[in-house]
Amino acid sequence: MIEHPAFTVEPWAVRERGLHLEVLAQSESVFALSNGHIGMRGNLDEGEPHGVPGTYLNSVYELRPLPYAEAGYGYPESGQTVINITNGKVIRLLVDDEPFDVRYGTVLEHERTLDLRAGTLRRRVRWESPAGCGVGVTSTRLVSFTQRAVAAVLYEVETLDEPLRVVIQSELVANESLPDLGHDPRTAAVLEAPLVIEENLTHDTEAVMVHSTRASKIRVGAAMAHEVDGPEGTEVEAWGDGDVARVTVATRVEPGRPLRLVKLLAYGWSSQRSRPAVHDQVVAALAGARLSGWEGLAGEQRQFLDEFWAGADVEVHGDNQAQQAVRFGLFHVLQAGARAEQRPIPAKGLTGPGYDGHTFWDSESFVMPVLTYTRPSAVADVLSWRPQTLPTAKTHAASLGLEGSAFPWRTINGEECSGYWPAGTAAFHINADIADAVVRYLDATQDAEFERVTALPLLVETARLWRSLGHHDRDGRFRIDGVTGPDEYSALADNNVYTNLMARRNLRAAAEVVGRHPDEAEAMEVSEEETAAWRDAAGAMVIPYDGRLQVHPQAEGFTDHGRWDFAKTKPEQYPLLLHFPYFDLYRKQVVKQADLVLAMHLCGEAFTAEHKARNFAYYEALTVRDSSLSACTQAVMAAEVGQLELAHDYLGEAGFMDLGDLEHNTRDGLHIASMAGVWTALVAGFGGLRAGGGRPIAFAPRLPPGITDLCFRLRYRGRRLKVSIDAGTATYELLEGEALPVSHNGEEFVLAASPESRAIPPVPPSPRPRQPPGREPLPRHRYTRDAAEGRVTEPVHPAPLPPLARPHG
């Protein structure tokens, strides 16, 4: 955990005052910049010291073998690992022959600021060399949202007192040495020198490098150009050889006359285009960047974010940390998907090498819901990647003896990378999660072209998978046996409630879309008999229920299992999977992450209010949250069943996952799903947002004592909405678009030009459910109470949870 107050609490920024080398790797993740295509960790400009150097391109990976103790039919033979590509961030500085290095000399002042409105990382440092020469350095870095292939740095050097001789070395460098990331299987496999040089050309202030990967045969291009504003006599030269290209600027800096360098970068990759084509691609992108210049790029960045925040901002009053956390989370969710453009969103985004850069079900089930209501075009782009991988998914299904498509549990290019099949291949719910994201997007946008081109094949092939995987038993009920649900402490279960409910939604949605597009369905050889079989399976789906306990078992027979002995489990024995065999975990009532509770959130119509309350209390006592995916879902359902303070506590856990480094692995990249979960806890939890199912968009607002007011904006069906909530009233405003039917606590009305206010009914008190001993979330009321009394000026970080471990979460 980051135990000192590394980041100040501000509404629109994450600021680090001072330089804390002991948490440098964590801050590199927090300060990462991305647009979904390019990702740059927040490494220091001079490159050293570093925690984990990292520059990434979405879906650029290298292959590596997957070792097995015993081979098995259908096991994946190789995995994919994201690689650190050509680094263009490096700008070295020499002051009268002394290299600028924060480990030497004296750092007089150091501050870094991630500006959530400008979309930039700004660094300001004042340094005195060992020889006593004082300089001030200011750098501002951006990865462009408007020019997908472009990044830029504004770098300025000034002398603090006397004239100084200054040399800047701006570089492109490939195959950097990476640190040992340890044996945690969530971190990337370290691949030495994955790039093979094909071209290194320099001219004037420009350089172009082209590499290819050794095994995956992906070609990567990087280019840089510079604008230098210095005194007369400034010398500039370019040099390149092997894996390094360098532009050197030498001059004499006088007091009051800083040296200004603008570095423009362009990146591109292809698995098919030739070296000259990739070369031309990055040169063309660089030309576009030069046309805009630094001021143009920065202006475009601010304009892009202004438009985003106008339909996405969340205002929280009463909990300043939650205010910062939700905007920080939204910013990183946007960065992960804004310009992914038919590429996946990895679990860590492009902020680090964690999980080998793989995408999981997080993308569709946690990240895309946020983007659906804040930047829906990004969801269309990301979901369009899945149809490209359908041939691979069909082959995978066939190898398992199934029809339709079996999408991979973890992947970069569409091929399965999980070597642990009970938690990987058996987690077939990924197929329904993809279908659910498709259905949600269609409801929120009514995008007819997307439905015809993208949604139809995805829904048809996933429906075929479920019809093939399940079967009708002797009583005519449709069963899905031997699968793994979201809870990775239960594997190969029969009739997992989450899986069955999501599969039912998938089957019905497929039948409906086929009915609207008969010609396209006929081209896919979908018959009336097949769609009837889907409807029959959905109508007969088994949803287990324990009448004795009056709760839904997570899966058939789950509530008959022996309970985990939490009282004898020591705090240092979490996460359980690192200290106990799966054999023991799989046959006990212990839950790694929300499973049945997630089903109640996403498929709430399948449960009564009484069922939700009883189920929630039952599973609170079993859920240990050895996964970062759990807290936000528990926050949503805690709010729905009236446990508002508990919901606030879970909101805090999701919000500080990376700002507080709660799980000791922020160094490997941010938990993008948890970033999204802060928005979900606030908007779906305290705002009560629910949509879909042919009903008007609905809200059931209610606030915990620690939050006095909540206001959020969202986009829905071409409209822009604003919802403002205080202790007793919710006000709905239509900021843009035509009138829209809306539901408030079950009362439907039409929202038009005039704001509509509705009273919020009081929440009846109920006993607070208990969690396993030692797994309670830290109470938020302590911070909000002290803040209200003016006693907190710096962040009070929650107590750390033990670190997580494989396979995912």
Catalytic residue numbers?
488
Who's near 238: CB < 8 A, 6+ residues apart? 202, 203, 204, 205, 206, 207, 245, 246, 247, 248
Interatomic CA distance for residues 152 and 231, integer angstroms: 22
Interatomic CA distance for residues 487 and 499, integer angstroms: 11
For residue 584 the two structure tokens come to 């023991």
Instruction: Name which of 571, 579, 623, 568 is nearest 802 in CA terms.
Output: 571
Instruction: Name which of 187, 190, 31, 26 is nearest 667 in CA terms.
Output: 26
Answer whether 423's CB lies under 8 Å from 412's CB: no
Residue 369 backbone phi and psi in degrees, to 5? -55, -40
Interatomic CA distance for residues 541 and 104, integer angstroms: 67
At residue 616, the 3 state secondary structure works out as helix
The H-assigned helical ranges of 403-483 are 429-445, 448-450, 456-469
Who's near 94: CB < 8 A, 6+ residues apart? 100, 166, 167, 168, 169
Instruction: Name which of 268, 55, 39, 263 is nearest 170 in CA terms.
Output: 263
Interatomic CA distance for residues 522 and 224, integer angstroms: 50
β pairing state of 314-317 and 61-65: unpaired
Who's near 782: CB < 8 A, 6+ residues apart? 796
CA atoms within 13 A on the CB side of 517: 23
Distances from the Cα of 549 to the Cα of 294, 490, 554, 607, angstroms: 64, 20, 13, 15
Instruction: Name which of 358, 321, 212 is nearest 273 in CA terms.
Output: 212
Distance of CA 210 to the CA centre of its chain: 29
Dump strand ranges (E) for 254-370: 259-270, 314-317
